[in-house]
Amino acid sequence: MTTFADIAPALERQAIELPSWAFGNSGTRFKVFTTPGTPRTPEEKIADAAKVNEYTALAPTVALHIPWDMVDDFAALSRFAEDHNVKLGTVNSNTFQDDVYKFGSLAHSDPAVRRKAIDHHLKCLEIMTEIGSRDLKIWLADGTNYPGQDDLRARQDHLAESLQEIYSQVSETQRLVLEYKFFEPAFYHTDVPDWGTSFAQVSALGDRAYTCLDTGHHAPGTNIEFIVMQLLRLGKLGSFDFNSRFYADDDLIVGAADPFQLFRIIVEVIRGGGLEVDSPVQFMLDQCHNVEDKIPGQIRSVLNVQEMTARALLVDRPALTAAQEAHDVLGANGILMDAFYTDVRPALASWREERGLPADPMAAYLASGNQSKIAAERVGGTQLSWSA
Ligand code: LRH
Ligand code: MN
Ligand code: MN
């Protein structure tokens, strides 16, 4: 039997990076609703992310998205973060909102457009060096809408060349992480649609190139935990973008739509060594909060990951292995389900208190009055939205 004391060390080192953009307003193509207190500057987004860490001790780093988080002085932004007890983390590039990228970026047929997109990534690497960030995360909107619109093979070759040039500037302490997504905004084909394409591209680059698995980027019914297993087995799972989905890339709170799927994913993470001290796996959220308050939305998210991690760590591995080897189908399934159905919340609450944290971080945050404080303070200026 695995006890809570057995799993505490693994829980203690759990870290989930927050996306700066989760603190901006977001919405659908129908409407972006505003929330009082929404950040107007990258600093205010970082201050909000720091609140999540203050109440949970789960979110020590904040990911930036460039140019959304462009500032004149990144060293100062980094000091600002450290003054708030967090650090700047992954830098996400953005080649999906400028007119010049209408027909693609790193995979575009025109070398001049590819040059611009490559230069943007080189700029991101410079920023990373300045702030001491390890990961350059690349997600491309590149693709086509109609069969015949462009040459699929040529685009894949362009992509490989562009990535090669970017990778040549990735330092010894940095990594390139390539995210995949099966559709959107392109609908017929996407240049990096699946883990296999990302794996093929990053494998051609070298040891410091990895795949990012965004949980919302798969077709309905995809067995995501199988992909997690395979990428870990191949040593190429660099990071997670956690969120949950009902239909497409919904970017809802991780663990909200399908808690059991999150459990199964984390079981495979643990099985593959992804929670070990020297693991290459970076855990990140990639979410938007369209109608709920953003700081509590992020608090709920990191707690969901923590709860599911605790349950996954409680799987009785020796018993499971024995049942698997004996082909005890229902026994093995029962062992997994026992862990899934364990309510870890009381144990987590007292464990948090032992560590000087609120037993219920969500309730403590809501009682703190921070939400009305930022709403009163942040008047004037322009609230940032997801994409600006
Ligand atoms: C694309 C994506 C990618 C972007 C983020 C804003 O759908 O998941 O990670 O950087 O959304
Ligand atoms: Mn993502
Ligand atoms: Mn996405």
Q: How far is the CA of 45 from the centre of ligand 3 (A)?
A: 20
Interval between CA 363 and ligand 1 midpoint (Å):
30
* CATH number of this structure's domain 14-312, picked from the four choices 3.30.450.20, 3.20.20.100, 3.30.390.50, 3.20.20.150: 3.20.20.150
What are 35-73's pLDDT values in tens digits? Answer: 999 999 999 999 999 999 999 999 999 999 999 999 999
In this prediction, residue 167 carries a pLDDT of: 99
Cα 69 to ligand 1 centre (Å): 14
Residue 349 is predicted with a pLDDT of 98
Does the model's pTM come out above 0.95?
yes
Note the ligand closest to the C-alpha atom of 94: 1
Nearest CA to ligand 1 atom 9: 139
Q: Which H, E and C letters describe the chain, residue by residue? A: CCCHHHHHHHHHCCCCEEEHHHHCECECCCCECCCCCCCCCHHHHHHHHHHHHHHHCCCCEEEEECCCCCCCCHHHHHHHHHHCCCEEEEEECCCCCCHHHCCCCCCCCCHHHHHHHHHHHHHHHHHHHHHCCCEEEECCCCEECCCCCCCHHHHHHHHHHHHHHHHCCCCCCCEEEEECCCCCCCCCEECCCCHHHHHHHHHHHCCCEEEEEECCCCCCCCCHHHHHHHHHHCCCEEEEEECECCCCCCCECCCCCCHHHHHHHHHHHHHCCCCCCCCCCEEEECCCCCCCCHHHHHHHHHHHHHHHHHHHHCCCHHHHHHHHHCCCHHHHHHHHHHHHCCCCHHHHHHHHHHCCCCCCHHHHHHHHCHHHHHHHHCCCCCCCECCC
Q: Consecutive sets of 10 residues in the chain, 388 residues long: mean pLDDT of each?
A: 91 97 95 95 98 98 98 98 98 98 98 98 98 98 98 98 98 98 98 98 98 98 98 98 97 98 98 97 98 98 98 98 98 98 97 98 98 96 83
Instruction: Please state the domain extents for the chain.
Output: 14-312
pLDDT, tens digit (0-9, with 9 covering 90-100), for 330-385: 999 999 999 999 999 999 999 999 999 999 999 999 999 999 999 999 999 999 98
Instruction: Supply the ipTM of this predicted assembly.
Output: 0.99
